[in-house]
Structure formats: C-alpha cells, structure tokens
Structure 1
C-alpha cells in the first residue's frame, strides 16, 4: 500500500516487546511501539479500533495457543506478530518446536487479516546476547521464510545498527527505552507504506563512554537487579507474565492516553 493506505483496525500479538516494556508512563503502565503506532493510525482514521493481546514473558507456543486464535477471529486490517525470542533466550530450546508454533501462528493469522507484519527483533550489543545470537539468527531466518510463503511484511529491526546501541535499552538490558519504542513504531509505520516522519535508523550522537569503575558498578547492579532474577525464572520455568491479562484484550475504538501521541 502507498501513502494513502487506509487501516481501520490493528491487533498486536506477542510478548513484553509488544506489551511495551520498558516505555513507562507516569501512571506506572507501559506504552510501547504498538500503542504509539495505534495512536498514529487512529489520527488518520475515524473509528479506528485497536487490541493488544501481548503479555510479557510468553513463549511462542503460549502466544500461538492463547493469543493467535483470538487475534485471527478479530479480522483486523493489520496484525503484528512478534514472538519466539523468549524461547531462543532459554537455557535449552527446541528450535524445531519454535518453527512449528510460528508456522501454526502465521498460517492462522495471514488469511485472517489484510496485512500481517512480522519482525526481526532488535538485538542489543553485549556479551549476554552474543551467546544467543546463533539462535536469534535462526529464528529470524524462520521469520523471513514464513513471510515469503504467506505474503507477510517483515520489519528488519535486527539489521538496524542504532537499535544495538546500549542507550536504546533500559537498565534491564532486555527492553527498549521510550526512544527505542518510538523508532520501532516509525519502522512499522513506514513498512505499512505510510509517509516517513524521520529516519528511524539514524544513529545517536556521539557520547563519552563512562569510565571503567562506573561500568563495573552498572554491571553489578544489572546482575543483581535483573540478570539473576531473569536466570532464576528461566531455570524454574516461571514467567513474569504468569497470570497477567492482556492490556487491551478487545478490538475496540482507540483513545490515546494522556501524552501517548507525543514522541
């Protein structure tokens, strides 16, 4: 579609990335790229409807079982599906099962909507992610293959150097900052054929790197507050999203929260 494309409804499916962590609003809720995109689409289309079924911590099998059938039944113009990275970051993973769940999800969603959008998720630079990079790249290869087979669009966030910049990531080093989410929203917006607001791939200005002592202090704080609890959940099979409902479970007219339209 071109710049005059009309999208009247949008359903987002996935995990914490699509739920909006860590784009924190003053009331303690998370906004994120999907809400930002919905706000922009709603500004173009009276009566625009939006649902966000994503829940933090969900594996692709859970997304395929719990979210995808509901999303397919909504018959939206646009559906975004981002999942599988939580599986790839587990200590052990069967990538064949990940592929199977993704095939199931895409096979159900693609014919249910006008435009299905898949993503190659952004990857933060650093030693923790390096360990999992081969799995991530295998996952993104599956995504590309399924998109080609089903006529879905792919947003290549992984290939954008700026999204590997540590300044785009929250202190937990797993979730994007508000600026990161803003850029993802712009990337999806442009992929949908809508007029660019800016260059979402543009690099950040140079900065002075913190000294060794500051970096070590940051690493210790990160390990204590975020890495160890994350490893603990992976080893015990628990999830940060256990028992948590979707933030926008119904495809309903969209009203932006206060400040949500601002970038």
Structure 2
C-alpha cells in the first residue's frame, strides 16, 4: 500500500535522539521509515511532531489536534514510555493512551504503535521498571488488537537487548537501533523487500569482565542517571520550550512540489 500523508507523533524515540542528521539535528526511525515509504511514492508528504520528553497527555493536547488537521493516511504513535518513567499510576497511563488511540482509530488512517524493548537487560536498575514496562507492553498489544493497529513488537527483538543498538545514555537508540526499529516498522506494514529478520541478534562479542561492567555502569549513573533525576525532581524536561522538527507536511524527496 502506498501512503501520501504520513504524520509521526511521540517523544524522543520518534524525534530521533542520538541518530544525528545534518538537516534536522536528529534523524530517527520515523524519518528512516518515511524515506523508505518515499521510494514507493515519491510524492509522499511527511510531518514529525514528536518532541523529546513529552508524555501521552502532552501528546494528546499539543500534537494530536495538529496531526488530525493534516488528514494523514499513516500515523505512527508509539507512546507511554515517559509516562512509565514519571508515574506509577498505570490506570491513568492507560486512560491517557486510550484517549489518544480512540481518536486515531476514528481517522481511518493506518496507525502504527509498538511495544518497548526489555530495558531490564540494558539499563542498570532497569529491573525496577520491569513490571511497569510489561504492563505497558500488554496495553500496547491490547490497543493493537482492539483497534486493528499495526504493532511493532520491539520487546521480542533480540537485537534491542544489545548495547550496540543503544546510545551511551541507554535511554535512546543508536543509529543502528533506529535503523532496526524502522526495519521492524517496514515489515509490520508489509512493505516490499522488508525482512522478518529485522530483530535478529548481532554477531556476538566477547562478554566484558564483570569488573569492567560495574565501572561502566557506575559511569553511566553519574553521567546520565543523575542529571535525569535532577531534572525530574525540578519538574523539568529536555523538551521544555522545544518545537517539532518537521511541523508541517513536506516532501521527503527534495524537489517534489508542495501541491
């Protein structure tokens, strides 16, 4: 199926943090998917409304009305991870997700969502989030079944438990991780030449010594975890004051007219 108007909603994952791009600062899995879709339809128009740090409720209030006005035929909206990081109220998180997804389901567009990778295997202290993460993933599967959404199951992809698919902060995907997510989305959408092996593990490396792992995890806590906790205590977000990188539907392939 060819799409003509693709709008991406979400947070840092969809904005593309840690996947550098000279034009938009960050590229990310959604931009990579748009480029792949444009190979099938060079007239594809694409907007990316995602902003780092946004919760589902903020997405509903700030991004959803703009997306609906664009009348997209493809919408990507993997949401909820920032909610899980900042709240333990899973009922509220479910209700906020349902409020967004119920509206998206009524648009007639193809809607793509995802589960989230197993952070218990990549982030120190990640096991403290495991129960909430599993609950969120169950919600995403439930919404996909209920509304007929396309689901990319990142949780079951072995490649995403490999630190090579994660940036040094382990909260955002590396360029390779974004590439694999885009490949998973392409396969879930049934795009030509997409591969069911998108989540296959990378060639194995020698396991580092336990002492090295402890030192590495300690440095991570000082460099990344502590600043995140300070921002959270102050009620601040990396997305404060930021605007979307691609706020309007524009051609993916340069030179296409804006008709």
TM-score strictly above 0.5: yes
List alignment gaps of at least 5 residues for structure 1.
Answer: 257-263
In structure 1, distance between residues paired with 2:239 and 2:118: 21
Aligned to 1:93: 88
In structure 1, distance between residues paired with 2:243 and 2:70: 18
Further displaced range: 212-221 or 97-106: 212-221
Cα deviation, residue 28, structure 1: 8.0
Q: Deviations over 1:209-254 (max 9, x none)?
A: 2334433332232112111011112222211101110001111222
Residue of structure 2 aligned with 1:38, choices 30, 34, 38: 34
Does the aligned pair in 2 maintain the 1:186–1:196 contact within 8 Å?
Answer: no
In structure 1, distance between residues paired with 2:75 and 2:133: 22
Aligned to 1:259: none
Instruction: Please tell me the root mean square deviation across aligned C-alpha atoms, in Å.
Output: 1.7
In structure 2, distance between residues paired with 1:78 and 1:85: 22
In structure 1, distance between residues paired with 2:10 and 2:252: 19
In structure 2, relative to structure 1, the CA distance for the partners of 1:12 and 1:111 (3 Å cut) is same
Aligned to 1:133: 130
Does the aligned pair in 1 maintain the 2:84–2:132 contact within 8 Å?
Answer: yes
In structure 2, relative to structure 1, the CA distance for the partners of 1:28 and 1:190 (3 Å cut) is closer
TM-score (norm 2): 0.91
Is 1:61 equivalent to 2:54 in the alignment? no
Residue of structure 2 aligned with 1:200, choices 179, 198, 201: 198
In structure 2, relative to structure 1, the CA distance for the partners of 1:253 and 1:113 (3 Å cut) is farther
Does the aligned pair in 1 maintain the 2:79–2:113 contact within 8 Å?
Answer: no
Does the aligned pair in 2 maintain the 1:73–1:112 contact within 8 Å?
Answer: no
Cα deviation, residue 136, structure 1: 1.0
Is 1:29 equivalent to 2:20 in the alignment? no
Does the aligned pair in 2 maintain the 1:75–1:113 contact within 8 Å?
Answer: no
In structure 2, distance between residues paired with 1:155 and 1:239: 27
Q: Deviations over 1:73-100 (max 9, x none)?
A: 211111011111111112x432111111
Aligned residue pair count: 251
List alignment gaps of at least 5 residues for structure 2.
Answer: 255-259
Is 1:179 equivalent to 2:176 in the alignment? yes
Is 1:229 equivalent to 2:227 in the alignment? yes
Further displaced range: 230-239 or 180-189: 230-239
Aligned to 1:261: none
In structure 1, distance between residues paired with 2:24 and 2:101: 33
In structure 1, distance between residues paired with 2:37 and 2:108: 16
In structure 2, distance between residues paired with 1:213 and 1:128: 17
- Runs of at least 4 residues of structure 1 off by over 4 A? none
In structure 2, distance between residues paired with 1:27 and 1:252: 14
Does the aligned pair in 1 maintain the 2:150–2:188 contact within 8 Å?
Answer: yes
Aligned to 1:209: 207
TM-score (norm 1): 0.90
